[in-house]
Structure 1
C-alpha cells in the first residue's frame, strides 16, 4: 500500500478503534480535564492522530495512534464526532509518529520539574519497570495556553488599560500561534512517513473501469464479482448482498437513501454493512428506478 497524503476532519467516534497497547489507566485529574472539555465543546479541541485499519470490526475504520485518552473518554460520554488527522502508516511508522509527537509537544524528561505518576509494569522476566503518563504531561503543558485564551475572551470591554482593538489583537495572535503549532506538528508527522529518497515507485497500471451493475437486476454473483474488483472483503460482500435483499423485500424499496440508512445504523442495520462497504457498492453499482 502506498503512502497516502494527510487529511483532516471529523469522524464518528465509533469508527475509531483503541489498540490494547493504549488501553491504560487514566488518572482522575486527567480524566476530569477531558470530561470537562468534551462536555463543554461536544468534541475535542486538540485533534488526535489516527491511521486507516482493517484489523477491527467493519465500523472501526481507524486506529488511534496518538490521543487514545481523548477517544476513550469520548466513547464513555457518547460524543458523536472527534477531530482527527488521518494517515496511512505501518506499525513502525505509527510507533515513530507517537514518539515524535511526544517530543514535538515539548516533552523532555530531562528538563521537566513536574511530579509524574509512574505506575509499575512487570516484564516477561519478572522485572518491574516504570512508565510515564506522557498524555497527562502534555495536557499540563497546554493548560496555560488554554487559560490565557479563556482570560482574553472573558475580560469585560471596560477593563482599564485595554482597548477593544488590543484585546482582539491578542486573541488573533494566540489563535495564530495555535494554528502554527498544529501545522508544524502535521508537517513533522508527514515527514516521518515520506518514502526514502531512493524510493522508486512502479508505474501504476491503468485499466478501464468496468460498467456499473444495476442492483435491481444483478444477481448475488454479479454483486460479489463487482465488489471483489474494488477490494471488498468476503464479509463486506456478504453484508452488501444482505442489505440489498433487505431493501428489495421492504415496502420502502431499494434505493441509495435506504442503503445509507443501513450503513449509518439508523434503520435496517445489517451486521458488517457500514460506510466503507456502502462506498464500495456505490462505486460499482447503480439503481434503476
Structure 2
C-alpha cells in the first residue's frame, strides 16, 4: 500500500497591505539672492563687527540702539534672521524716537570705527526718514547726532569728530510729499535703488506720521501698503512706522513684527515722564532737546 506523502505545512495566509497615500515633502525653494543675503547676515553676526555693514546687522540683531524700550524689543527676537518691522503708536515721543534712532544708527555704523576696513564708503548704511507731518527738522537731526557722538567719545573728543558729523548727517535723508499720492513713486524708487544693495547691510526706513494723510483715501492707502510690502520683501530694510492712531491698522499689521505704545507717565514715580508699553511690559524713558534719554 502506497504511503501518502506527508502533507506540507500550510502556508500562512497573506493579506495585501492597505494602500496609503504618500505625501512627498518637496525641499524649500530659495533663490540664490535670498541665500546670499541670509549668508551675509549670519556672517555679520558671527563675531564683533569689523566694518560698517556688519555693524548695521549687529545694531538690530543684538539690540544696540541704546534706547531701552527698543533694545528690549529687539533682544526678544533671539537672534532671528528676520529684520524687524516696528509699529509705534501714541501721543508722545514718536518724532523724537524716529530722530534718535536715526542718529544712533549712523553713529554706530560710522566708518571711523573700522580704520582697517576696506570697501566703498559710498555703500555705507543709510537712513531714509519719510516725514508726513514735517516735524523732523534739520536742527533736531543735527543736535541728536552731535549728542550721540559726544556720548560715544566721552571726555576725549577725537580729531575725527567733525568728519564723523559730516559722514553721519550725510547718510540721513528726509523725504516729504505734498499729499498721499506722492508716497507711491517714492516707495517705488526706494525699492528700485535698494534691492541691489540688500547684501551690503540693512537700510533703516523711518516713517513719522505714517498714513496720516491717506487715512480717508482707501484706494491710495492700500496702494501704499502694497508698495511697502514689496519693499520689505525685496530689500534688506528695517522699517519703523510712527502714528497717533491709524484706524485701519489691521491692513498693515500682517507685516508688523513688533508693536510699541508710548504714553505719558501719569504716576511719574520712576522720575521719567513717559512710558513705552511692549507686550504688556512698561519701560520708562525721558526726552531732552537731543532726543530719547533711556
TM-score normalised by L of structure 1: 0.22
Higher strand share: 2
Q: Which has the higher contact order (CA 8 A, sep 6+)?
A: 2
TM-score normalised by L of structure 2: 0.21
